[in-house]
Amino acid sequence: MEGKVNVLRARRLAEKTRIERGARYRTWHRFTIHLTELGVPVGMALALHGPPHRTRRDAPVDQALPLEAAWRTGTPSGGRGGTGRRDASGEDGPRDRTGGVTVIGLPDVVRACLFDLDGVLTRTATIHAAAWKEMFDGYLRERAARAREEFVPFDTVADYEMYVDGKPRYDGVRSFLAARGIELPQGQDSDPPDAETIFGLGNRKNELVLRMIHEGGVEAYEGSVRYLRAARDHGLRCAVVSSSTNTHDVLVAAGIEGFFDARIDGVVAEREGLKGKPAPDTFLAGARALGVAPERAAVFEDALAGVAAGRAGDFVYIVGVDRVGQAGALREHGASIVVSDLCELLGDR
């Protein structure tokens, strides 16, 4: 009965929204999310509403492919990745969208996947959080002792998520210090790790990360590796889009560099003058590198700033990856769906 009521409400909403077909694409997206929150399977929500309104007239779109709001369906993967069949899952996970076969949990229009690195593909987010803490606590302790003030440590959950996660390193330093009312000179990128500048502190943090990676190695999430294989099996182009200047080394250390057609990392961003997340520049550059418009590309992110970057770039689908219990915040920042592991999109967590 409840399901029937939800469908009726969904139809009314769909009718209302069809009248406003000229509304921005984003409205369509929010509407779809709204329907799914009512308990309507996503496939039905899309069928009720029809295709999104395209707003980027200048964006390159592969005209050979129909821009329709169908979901990726087809034969089950014969490879090591997708299993083909997917069952309904919990509130945050994907649902059985059409009652039929769905494969890798993406709208059928998607032709490319843009993956963040730390926290999405590799377990390096915990390494970064630990390095940020060691660096900031060392500096804050020194500073508090000098000023005879109380030492308030860096919080690896709240401070990490709010001020540094997903951002270019020096933006993270500046952002967190500003929150503590601390202003330091910018310095230069060649500043030594003990320099009391934005660059100096950033370089100190990077030294710690490299030491931790060197000592402990890098591990890719098993579910992410399976998802990458499934994406490749289904002909999707893949890029990694990370603020990290160590992206290449991390990909090699984790043994997953072969999955990607393009890499937009901190080195490329600096060379090309791209703004870091939450600006959409790096994801847009990743889509360009793959020859795909944002309307046909999915973003995979675990950071609030990264999800916001995907939303700002008007990407058709944004998968929020919740490793630390921030599903609500990921949705608020623009995630289309939130999963705790990419294998949930394959329907076999």
Q: Which of 14, 45, 231, 303 binds Mg ion (CB under 5 A)?
A: 303
Q: Does 320 bind Mg ion (CB under 5 A)?
A: no
Least distance (Å) from Mg ion to the CB of residue 272?
A: 20
Question: Cα separation of 221 and 238, whole Å?
Answer: 17
Q: Which of 161, 171, 295, 302 binds Mg ion (CB under 5 A)?
A: 302
Dihedral sign from CA coordinates of 25, 340, 238, 264: positive
* H-helix segments, the chain: 2-19, 25-37, 42-49, 124-147, 158-159, 169-179, 198-216, 222-233, 247-254, 266-272, 281-290, 304-312, 327-332
Stretch that binds Mg ion, among 31-39, 49-57, 197-205, 298-306 (CB under 5 A): 298-306
Q: Does 319 bind Mg ion (CB under 5 A)?
A: no
Q: What one-letter code names the amino acid at 37? A: E
131 conformational bin, left if phi > 0, alpha if psi -120 to 50, beta if neither: alpha
Residue 118 appears among annotated catalytic residues: yes
Cis peptide, bond prior to residue 278, ω within 30 of zero: yes
Question: From the candidates 116, 171, 191, 265, which is the catalytic residue?
Answer: 116
For residues 3 to 22, the per-residue mask of contacts with Mg ion, x marking binding by CB under 5 A and - elsewhere, is --------------------
Residue pair 316/52 in contact by the 8 Å Cβ criterion: yes
Q: Which of 110, 111, 118, 256 binds Mg ion (CB under 5 A)?
A: 118
243 Cα distance to chain centroid = 12
Q: Does 116 bind Mg ion (CB under 5 A)?
A: yes
Residue of this chain nearest to Mg ion (CB atom): 119
Residue 189 appears among annotated catalytic residues: no
110 or 250: whose CB is closer to Mg ion?
250
Q: Does 119 bind Mg ion (CB under 5 A)?
A: yes
Q: What one-letter code names the amino acid at 188? A: Q
Question: From the candidates 108, 118, 165, 302, which is the catalytic residue?
Answer: 118
Which of the residues are catalytic? 116, 118
Residues that bind Mg ion (CB under 5 A): 116, 118-119, 302-303
